[in-house]
């Protein structure tokens, strides 16, 4: 009935179908995930947790939340999963709220080095309400473990956060844990970007190493927008404060941080869609999908480097890469705009030690999860590198960009969307 809105959704659907979606934090969900997300479950209030709710009529949503929790626990191999965080940022806020008093020290990865705002950026809650210490990547883009250890010893943070939004290499969880243990800090692994790679077996898991794990559910995990907090410890009883703040009671500390600490009613439609995505991620095909994401990223990285592009760290181990465009005489903002005009969606991104500002940085970030969900493989990545190069080399030629856009729209017809 709402034509105005429907037109906009239709246009967005066409954009998603006809273009190359290369933002590494995006993906295409299945029809089943969409169906759960668009279901009548959005009508229900259910503050609390299964079996302990502040509202009546929760018998079926209890079953749904239990299913999501059990699937998350089985898939990741943890004893406790909280599936209620509305999204990744609130999940990270909840961990800080559970573990730190205002003014206490946390240490996270600097945004320009590949970290996320919620890991201690000065203008984010994590940098305003807590004393934030930021570690950086070396000039070559790799995490600087020596600096991390020196900063930890100097500032003795209570929480160390590792896991970024633009880091193209493997996270060495045991090494970060060693540093955390040396100063008595909790280690939080934010695997938002790589959760699908972890369950697909193509990235080491932080389970059994990190004290707490947060993840969004909508990136490589290919679920709805949402998040989870995973940990081990005594079974949670969110109605009673734990006898002490310690690792043993993390499940209760986390659950109480979500509600009553930060949130009200869980989004049951989102929880159901997370349960669907977790079921899909537990299938053998998902392992093939995860391996193909990485193979595609590596093929794309090689094809770009062959065309003279500089990649932060000189390549990738995961689903994303950061291209430093300085040698091409183009800024990240200009590149993003030109690629948009050609039907290639990317985002501008800072590079380590970027002399430019985040709103007009030196690089772009590219990823392969969404393209891989369409069934594209290594050969298509080489073709895409060619289009990227063609676009950036002719960025002021509107006719050329329009022609590339048409070619890409034709090409994408061979790779239908999952839903």
Nearer to ligand PLP, 94 or 272 (CB): 94
Residue 177 designated active-site: no
Shortest spacing between CB 324 and ligand PLP, in angstroms: 20
Residues that bind ligand PLP (CB under 6 A): 25, 87-89, 92, 116, 118, 163-165, 190, 192-193, 216
- Round to whole Å and give the CA distance between 110 and 96: 17
Which is nearer to ligand PLP, 166 or 281 (by Cβ)?
Answer: 166
**For residues 171, 172, 178 and 184, what is the CA-based torsion angle, rounded to 10 degrees?**
10
- 190 annotated active-site: yes
Question: Cβ contacts of residue 6 below 8 Å, gap of 6+?
Answer: none
CB of 118 to ligand PLP, least distance (A): 6
Q: How far is the CB of 215 from ligand PLP (least distance, A)?
A: 8
Quickly tell me which residue has 């940085």 as its tokens.
361
Residue nearest to ligand PLP (CB): 88
Q: Closest approach of Cβ 254 to ligand PLP, in Å? A: 16
Candidate list 17, 18, 32, 45, residue with the active-site label: 45
Q: Which is nearer to ligand PLP, 90 or 200 (CB)?
A: 90
- In the set 17, 156, 225, 400, the catalytic residue is 225
Q: Is 47 a catalytic residue?
A: yes
Our answer to whether residue 386 is catalytic in this structure is no
Q: For residue 199, count other CB atoms closer than 10 A to its CB.
A: 24
53, 219, 348, 405: the active-site residue: 219
Examine the residue annotation and report whether 156 is marked as an active-site residue of this protein.
no
User: What is d(CA 207, CA 205) in angstroms, rounded to the nearest whole number?
Assistant: 5
Q: Render the burial of 261-300: b for 16+ CB within 10 Å, e for the rest.
A: ebbebbbbbbbbbbbbbbbbbeeeebeebbebbbbbbbbb
Catalytic, 216? Answer yes
> Toward ligand PLP, which CB reaches closer, 158 or 193?
193
Inter-residue contact 296 to 372 (CB < 8 Å): yes
Which of 18, 26, 32, 47 is catalytic? The answer is 47
Q: Burial letters for 30-59: b for 16+ Cβ neighbours within 10 Å, e otherwise?
A: bebbbebbeeebeebbbbbbbeebeeeebe
Catalytic residue among 216, 252, 331, 372: 216
Q: How many Cα atoms are found within 13 Å in the side-chain-facing hemisphere of 177? A: 14
CB of 219: closest distance to ligand PLP in angstroms?
7
281 or 303: whose CB is closer to ligand PLP?
A: 281
- Whether the CB-CB separation of 257 and 246 falls below 8 Å is answered with no
Residues known to be catalytic: 45, 47, 190, 216, 219, 225
């Amino acid at each position: 009935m709402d034509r105005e809105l429907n037109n906009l959704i239709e246009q967005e659907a066409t954009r998603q179908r006809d273009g190359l979606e290369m933002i590494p934090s995006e993906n295409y969900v299945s029809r089943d995930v969409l169906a759960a997300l668009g279901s009548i479950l959005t009508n229900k209030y259910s503050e609390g947790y299964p079996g302990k709710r502040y509202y009546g009529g929760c018998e079926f949503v209890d079953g749904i939340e239990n299913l999501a929790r059990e699937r998350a626990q089985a898939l990741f191999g943890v004893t406790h999963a909280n599936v209620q965080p509305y999204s990744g940022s609130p999940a990270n806020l909840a961990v800080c709220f559970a573990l730190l008093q205002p003014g206490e020290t946390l240490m996270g990865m600097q945004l320009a080095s590949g970290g996320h705002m919620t890991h201690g950026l000065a203008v984010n809650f994590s940098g305003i309400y807590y004393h934030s210490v930021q570690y950086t990547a070396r000039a070559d883009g790799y995490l600087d473990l020596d600096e991390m250890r020196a900063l930890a010893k100097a500032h003795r943070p209570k929480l160390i956060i590792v896991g970024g939004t633009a880091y193209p290499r493997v996270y060495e969880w045991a090494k970060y844990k060693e540093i955390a243990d040396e100063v008595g800090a909790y280690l939080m692994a934010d695997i938002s970007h790589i959760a699908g790679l972890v369950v697909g077996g193509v990235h080491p898991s932080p389970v059994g190493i990190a004290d707490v794990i947060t993840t969004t559910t909508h990136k490589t995990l290919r679920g709805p927008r949402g998040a989870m907090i995973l940990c081990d410890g005594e079974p949670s009883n969110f109605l009673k404060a734990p006898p002490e703040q310690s690792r043993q009671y993390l499940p209760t500390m986390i659950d109480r941080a979500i509600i009553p600490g930060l949130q009200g009613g869980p989004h049951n439609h989102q929880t159901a869609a997370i349960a669907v995505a977790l079921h899909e991620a537990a299938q053998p095909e998902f392992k093939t999908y995860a391996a193909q994401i990485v193979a595609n990223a590596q093929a794309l990285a090689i094809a770009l480097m062959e065309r003279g592009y500089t990649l932060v760290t000189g390549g990738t181990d995961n689903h994303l890469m950061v291209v430093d465009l300085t040698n091409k005489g183009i800024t990240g903002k200009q590149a993003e705009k030109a690629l948009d005009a050609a039907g290639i969606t990317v985002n501008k991104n800072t590079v380590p030690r970027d002399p430019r500002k985040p709103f007009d940085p030196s690089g772009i970030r590219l990823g392969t999860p969404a393209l891989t969900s369409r069934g594209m493989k290594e050969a298509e990545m080489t073709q895409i590198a060619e289009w990227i190069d063609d676009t950036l080399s002719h960025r002021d030629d509107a006719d050329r960009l329009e022609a590339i856009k048409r070619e890409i729209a034709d090409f994408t017809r061979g790779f239908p969307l999952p839903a």
